Amino acid sequence: MYKKILETAAWIKERMPNKPLTAIILGTGLGRLSEKIDKTLCIPYSSIPNFPVSTVEGHSGQLIFGKLGGKDIMAMDGRFHYYEGYNMKEVTFPIRVMYELGIKTLFVSNAAGGTNPSFRIGDIMIITDHINYMPENPLHGPNIPTGPRFPDMGEVYDPELVDLADAIASENKMKLKHGVYLATQGPTYETPSEYRMFAHWGADAVGMSTVPEVIVAHHCGMRCFGVSIITDLGVNGKIVKVTHEDVQKAANEAQPRMAALMEEMIRRS
């Protein structure tokens, strides 16, 4: 696997027009942020050696290089999920490649179901911690020499970036929530009983991504910032039937606020 990571990184290095220190995973809720990027190069995932290909509706599937907030950035327009049939090494392969390309900070977004009774659909939640309920840890197997065999997970989401997000939100009278994100394997949405269990465990939101990428980024020593758009509610009395289209609609409505926050954070970080 490590040989493939280096091979892919070398292929991209020959083509990348800049040397960004910041990367963004444009998951559900941030796809339109790509419109704000002053693009210099877009590479379809299908053209990149060893890269998986996203199969989820709403995920474009390309690697973008350009400028955002006046900074050189790279962005994944679409991510990979365990529920698509990929193993965790494949899901997190792009993060390993990012590290070899010199990325120091990772911004990541997702759509999530809220289990906190104070949340409403459309809320933006800053992730302050996570619960890994995936069936496989991306660090299983031989330790790739980018970090320790047993990484400490006490402070995965960079507190300085969280403070920066709060400051920007305050300046712009934008309401943000803070909370714990729990990752499941999917692709089913949660049952009412599962929502109650996750809330009892301390989760404020539940989704099907992000945690594997953040674990690997943290193992590589990257600063991480994560944010969820609350697209449905797993709270007693507020649970309704939900579809992927419902999730996309709620995420799209929150995108302008999310995009503005991310762009300003990158400008100042």
pLDDT tens digits, one per residue of 11-61? 999 999 889 999 999 876 666 788 889 999 999 999 999 998 766 554 468
Average pLDDT of the residues in 217-245: 84
Q: What is the pTM of this model?
A: 0.92
Strands 177-183 and 62-68, bridge-based pairing: unpaired
Per-residue pLDDT reduced to its tens digit, 174-225: 999 999 999 999 999 899 999 999 999 999 999 999 999 999 999 999 999 9
Per-residue pLDDT reduced to its tens digit, 117-150: 999 888 999 999 999 999 999 999 999 989 999 9
- pLDDT given for residue 29 in this prediction: 60
Answer for the pair 113, 233: CB distance below 8 angstroms, yes or no.
yes
What is the Cα 18 distance to its own chain's centre? 22
**Assigned CATH class of 2-268:** alpha beta
Cα Rg of the chain (Å, integer): 17
Q: For residue 257, give both structure tokens.
A: 């606020």
Say yes or no to pLDDT of 236 above 90: no
For residue 145, whether the previous peptide bond is cis, meaning omega lies within 30 degrees of 0, is no
Place of tokens 């704000």: 36
- pLDDT given for residue 78 in this prediction: 86
Closest of 39, 42, 35, 47 to residue 8, by C-alpha? 47
Answer for the pair 132, 211: CB distance below 8 angstroms, yes or no.
yes
**Three-state SS for 41?**
strand
Per-residue pLDDT reduced to its tens digit, 64-93: 999 999 999 999 988 899 999 999 999 999
Say yes or no to pLDDT of 237 above 70: no
How many whole angstroms separate alpha carbon 200 and alpha carbon 34? 37
Q: Where are the domains positioned within the chain?
A: 2-268
Give start and end residues of each alpha helix (H) in the chain.
2-13, 88-91, 93-100, 159-171, 192-201, 211-219, 244-268
- pLDDT given for residue 160 in this prediction: 97
- pLDDT given for residue 266 in this prediction: 95
- pLDDT given for residue 245 in this prediction: 76
Closest of 215, 201, 22 to residue 102, by C-alpha? 22
Average pLDDT of the residues in 85-114: 95
